[in-house]
């Protein structure tokens, strides 16, 4: 799910022959909870825990590298989704190809700023490092530096007396006082990271005046707020900054904090190495003490930073369709969506696996697709849209909504699935939050129908309206498409490297996935389109038999 604060290479199109079909599970018999509520479509049993677990562990694997939009790991996730949809018999509904065919992939343009890894690296005390650092580029943006000299430790930023003039060849190292973010709420972590960036800018500005060719900042907590900010607004080896249209995401917020030289932020391991090179060590209390007998030769260092830009880069969505059975209604479609992207890797190389956010939703997405492929074909068509760029600002779904591969006026509903695998602030083991809720002005008959079906699963619904603008359904809602969004809410592992697949509640994911399938199937078979009904006094204020999705299914 998109973070609250994001609200404040040549073409990557791949041929089907390159897809990773060998890695994918085939059709399976249900292996858990095959008991279905009365009246449920039999194909719902295809949504089983074995399949959910297989998909979730795959999406959240280290091999996918955190699935940051535009990286190799996110392309692997797109290949995985496309291969599965192709295997299930879905038609491609992405970009047009030669001879009027289509790809499973929909690309959209991004401007990519990245570190040229052939010209970027650190040498500290004779040891070369290709990673373990992040860069806030110089004010000029593009360009490169190659500086050799010696590391000079200047102290903690909060109490450092900075020199008026650095000696020739001196590379300044300043520690930023940080603490672990583990016990802090997301907004507090963000504010702490933003404050650390601001402090770093003040220090770097003074050191530029003193002749610094670059500034090294040491960080002793990889999970600190500054680590969070680097993840969104800095350049890391293998992890670019992207711009979509005029939206630079978090990087735009810190652009004014850049100075005339690069600021290089070191992971804890690189910080300890740099301190040792400068004749310093970190004590058990976090204080820095001098090492007796340290030699000047140990302080030798080289800092190379090369920033490059690709204005014609691409990011990928995946889109496919299962055509409806009714000659009159098959030109209308229900869209299922889930974002495949996440946050990549942390400055120390640890992977943001994004198991709940959103391997859980992507796993459910694929299992729901399997159920539709296995069951009786619905009257309307069903579109499955797996998007990227969600964490950066809902980019992939925005591009699709503005450049749909299906007549947008014939999209009757969007069912969005994002974070459904944990007990969280808004939902327990037998609960899920949805938006728009009955308290929302955009409450619709599809959301009301979901509430009626949830009761048949023994599930409670909670109000998720705080997330109405924070996931991909929103871009459909602004085009007038009725939506329902399933989400568990934030929890202690939200946007942390600790969000791993072993922590997911697969029985909960199964229930929510089956609920999402059922309401989508109801909409796809109803005589009438879903409609907006506005604020109500309860989830089911209106009678269920009233026409519109969520009422009685007819015509089948």
Rounded CA-CA distance 265/20 in Å is 36
Helix (H, G, I), strand (E, B) or coil at 531: coil
Q: What is the mean pLDDT of the chain?
A: 89
Query: Tell me, what's the pLDDT at 295?
Result: 65
> Given this model, what pLDDT does residue 389 score?
96
Residues in the chain: 556
Where is 541: in which H helix or E strand? none
195 φ, ψ (degrees, to nearest 5): -65, -40
Residue 322, pLDDT score? 98
- Which CATH number applies to 49-111+311-525? 3.40.630.10
- What confidence tier does 549 reach under pLDDT thresholds 50, 70, 90? low
Average pLDDT over residues 13-29: 36
Q: Do domains 49-111+311-525 and 114-310 have the same CATH topology?
A: no
pLDDT of residue 409: 96
Residue 120 pLDDT: 97
What pLDDT does 5 receive?
A: 40
Q: How confident is the model at residue 547 (pLDDT cuts 50, 70, 90)?
A: very low
Averaged pLDDT for residues 352-364: 98
Range with the poorest average pLDDT among 137-146, 248-257, 292-301, 388-397: 292-301
Bridge-based pairing state of the strands 483-487 and 411-417: parallel
Residue 472 CA, chain-centre distance (Å), reads 11
Range with the poorest average pLDDT among 108-112, 380-384, 404-408, 495-499: 495-499
Confidence class for position 27, pLDDT limits 50, 70, 90: very low
Contact 281, 291 (CB under 8 A): yes
The rounded distance, in Å, linking the Cα atoms of 44 and 32 is 12
Task: Name the fold adopted by 114-310.
Answer: Glucose Oxidase; domain 1 (3.50.30)
DSSP codes joined into one string, 497-514: TT--GGG--HHHHHHHHH
Q: Is the pLDDT of residue 75 over 60?
A: yes
More confident residue, 229 or 363: 363
| Tens-place pLDDT, residues 77-118 | 999 999 999 999 999 999 999 777 999 999 999 999 999 999
The rounded distance, in Å, linking the Cα atoms of 54 and 65 is 17
Q: What is the pTM of this model?
A: 0.91
Mean pLDDT computed over 471-484: 97
Range among 323-332, 424-433, 533-542 rated most confident: 323-332
| Range among 222-231, 254-263, 293-302, 401-410 rated most confident | 401-410
Residue 47: what are its φ and ψ, rounded to 5°?
A: -85, 90
The pLDDT tens digits for 171-213 are 999 999 888 876 677 777 778 888 888 999 999 999 999 999 9
CA-nearest of 394, 540, 544, 397 to 476 is 397
Q: Concatenate the DSSP letters of all residues of 151-205 into one string.
A: EEEEEEGGG----SSPPTTEEEEEEEP----TTS-HHHHHHHHHHHHHHHHHHHH
Question: Tokens in use for 29?
Answer: 């018999």
For the stretch 516-530, pLDDT in tens is 999 999 999 999 999
pLDDT tens for residues 298-318? 789 999 999 999 999 999 999
Cα angle value 555/454/433 (rounded, 5°): 125
Contact at 8 Å (CB) between 41 and 48? no
Q: Write down the pLDDT at residue 3.
A: 62
> Of the ranges 154-158, 161-165, 364-368, which is most confident?
364-368
- Say how far apart CA 416 and CA 361 lie, in whole Å: 9
- Please count the helices (runs of H) and the strands (runs of E) in the chain: 12, 19
Q: What is the pLDDT of residue 22?
A: 34
CA distance 279 to 296: 8
The residue ranking higher by pLDDT, 549 or 191, is 191
Residues forming a β-bridge with 122? 129, 303
What pLDDT is recorded for position 294?
66
Confidence of residue 8 (pLDDT cuts 50, 70, 90): very low
Residue 556, pLDDT > 50, answer no
Segments making up each domain of the chain, as ranges: 49-111+311-525, 114-310
Q: Provide the pLDDT for residue 451.
A: 95
């Amino acid at each position: 799910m998109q973070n609250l604060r994001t609200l404040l290479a040549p073409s990557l199109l791949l041929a089907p022959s390159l897809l990773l079909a060998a890695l994918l599970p085939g059709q399976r018999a249900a292996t858990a909870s095959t008991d279905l509520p009365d009246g449920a479509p039999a194909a719902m049993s295809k949504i089983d825990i074995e399949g959910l677990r297989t998909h979730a562990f795959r999406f959240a694997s280290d091999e996918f590298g955190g699935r940051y939009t535009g990286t190799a790991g996110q392309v692997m996730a797109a290949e995985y989704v496309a291969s599965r949809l192709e295997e299930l018999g879905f038609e491609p509904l992405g970009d047009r190809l030669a001879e009027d065919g289509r790809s499973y992939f929909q690309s959209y343009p991004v401007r990519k700023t990245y570190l040229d890894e052939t010209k970027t690296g650190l040498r500290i005390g004779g040891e070369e490092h290709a990673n373990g650092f992040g860069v806030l580029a110089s004010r000029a943006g593009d360009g490169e530096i190659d500086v050799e000299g010696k590391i000079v430790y200047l102290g903690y930023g909060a109490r450092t007396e900075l020199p008026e003039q650095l000696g020739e060849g001196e590379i300044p190292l300043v520690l930023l006082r940080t603490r672990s973010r583990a016990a802090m709420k997301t907004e507090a972590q963000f504010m702490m990271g933003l404050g650390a960036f601001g402090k770093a800018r003040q220090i770097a500005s003074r050191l530029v005046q003193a002749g610094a060719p670059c500034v090294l900042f040491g960080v002793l907590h990889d999970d600190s707020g500054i680590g969070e900010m680097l993840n969104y607004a800095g350049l890391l080896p293998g992890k670019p900054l992207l711009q979509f249209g005029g939206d630079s995401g978090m990087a735009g917020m810190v652009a004014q904090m850049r100075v005339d030289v690069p600021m290089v932020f070191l992971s804890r391991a690189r910080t300890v190495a740099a301190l040792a090179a400068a004749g310093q060590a970190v004590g058990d209390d976090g204080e820095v003490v001098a090492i007796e007998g340290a030699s000047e030769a140990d302080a030798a260092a080289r800092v190379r930073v090369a920033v490059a830009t690709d204005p014609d880069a691409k990011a990928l969505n995946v889109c496919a369709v299962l055509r409806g059975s009714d000659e009159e209604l098959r030109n209308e479609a229900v869209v299922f969506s889930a974002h495949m992207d996440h946050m990549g890797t942390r400055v120390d190389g640890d992977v943001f696996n994004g198991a709940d956010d959103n391997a859980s939703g992507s796993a459910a997405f694929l299992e729901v697709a399997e159920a539709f492929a296995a069951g009786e074909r619905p009257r309307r068509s069903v579109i499955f849209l797996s998007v990227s760029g969600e964490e950066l600002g809902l980019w992939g779904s925005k591009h699709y909504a503005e450049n749909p591969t299906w007549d947008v006026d014939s999209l009757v509903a969007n069912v969005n699935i994002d974070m459904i695998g944990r007990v969280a602030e808004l939902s327990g083991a037998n609960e899920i939050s949805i938006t728009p809720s009955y308290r929302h002005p955009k409450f619709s008959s599809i959301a009301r129908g979901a509430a009626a079906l949830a009761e048949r699963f023994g599930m409670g619904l909670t109000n998720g309206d705080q997330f109405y603008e924070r996931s991909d359904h929103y871009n459909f809602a602004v085009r007038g498409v009725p939506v329902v969004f399933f989400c568990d809410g934030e929890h202690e592992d939200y946007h942390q490297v600790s969000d791993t697949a072993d922590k997911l509640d697969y029985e909960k994911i199964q229930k929510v996935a089956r609920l999402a399938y059922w309401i989508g199937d109801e909409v796809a078979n109803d005589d009438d389109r879903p409609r907006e009904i506005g604020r109500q006094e309860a989830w089911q204020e209106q009678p269920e038999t009233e026409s519109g999705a969520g009422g009685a299914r007819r015509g089948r």
